[in-house]
Amino acid sequence: MLINNETIIKDDNELIRRKSADVSLPVSDEDRALLMDMLKYVDNSTVPEIAEKENLRPAVGISAIQVGVPKKMTAIIIKDEDGNKTCEYALVNPKIISNSVEKACLESGEGCLSVADAHEGFVYRSARVKVKAYDILQEKEILIKADGYLAIVLQHELDHFKGILFYDHINRKDPFHKEANAQIIE
Ligand SMILES: [Zn+2]
């Protein structure tokens, strides 16, 4: 599937609010191909020469509903400042099995491939999550124990399965409200 900033569904399309369904296992060739295309998008999106040529907006994650497919699949790649991957997942049916009471948010707020406008404000999420999923890169069920940035990214992507966008979590009256005991991630 061709995935670029033209084909990615934006929040003016009601499909982005649709709930995603479980993927049947074993993963079909069709689902696998789509998830690998999503992973490739994320990987290429942070390489400026490719991103410019192919009209890719930089991202660390993408979920299938963002390309119009309401299935629980998400691709995540986080890179360090030198462009080396610090984590890479192509997840089928990821599910949060536990989450911390402690909250965290990104100091700079969040962005989303499906949201063109800026929505400033803190998006509080659990500081730590445990996620169970089938990872097609490792070809097995895995348990991700995430904190910090990865925990935020996982919760952002899994929200897409429920039709929730990051700005739904922003306090409208006080977007930069400081919650007691919450970590602010730089
Ligand atoms: Zn998003």
Please report, for the domain that includes residue 19, its CATH number: 3.90.45.10
Q: Tell me the chain's radius of gyration from C-alpha atoms.
A: 16
In a domain, 33, yes or no: yes
Question: Which residue carries 């890169």 as its tokens?
Answer: 137
- Split into its structural domains, the chain has a count of 1
Is the pTM higher than 0.85?
A: yes
Distance (Å) from CA 65 to ligand 1 centroid: 10
In a domain, 162, yes or no: yes
In a domain, 48, yes or no: yes
Measured between alpha carbons, how far is 185 from 178 in angstroms, rounded to an integer?
A: 13
Note if 157 is an active site residue. yes
Q: Which residue out of 88, 157, 179, 186 is catalytically annotated?
A: 157
For a pLDDT cut of 90, what percent of the chain falls above it?
A: 99
Domain that holds residue 122: 14-185
In a domain, 157, yes or no: yes
Three-class HEC string of 50-61: HHHHHCCCCCCE
Residues with CB in 5 Å of ion ligand 1: 112
Distance (Å) from CA 54 to ligand 1 centroid: 20
Measured between alpha carbons, how far is 156 from 123 in angstroms, rounded to an integer?
A: 10
pLDDT tens digit sequence for 122-151: 999 999 999 999 999 999 999 999 999 999
In a domain, 83, yes or no: yes
- Neighbouring residues of 168: CB distance < 8 A, sequence distance ≥ 6: none
Measured between alpha carbons, how far is 109 from 166 in angstroms, rounded to an integer?
A: 9
Distance (Å) from CA 111 to ligand 1 centroid: 7
pLDDT tens digit sequence for 91-106: 999 999 999 999 999 9
143 token code pair: 């348990």
In a domain, 103, yes or no: yes
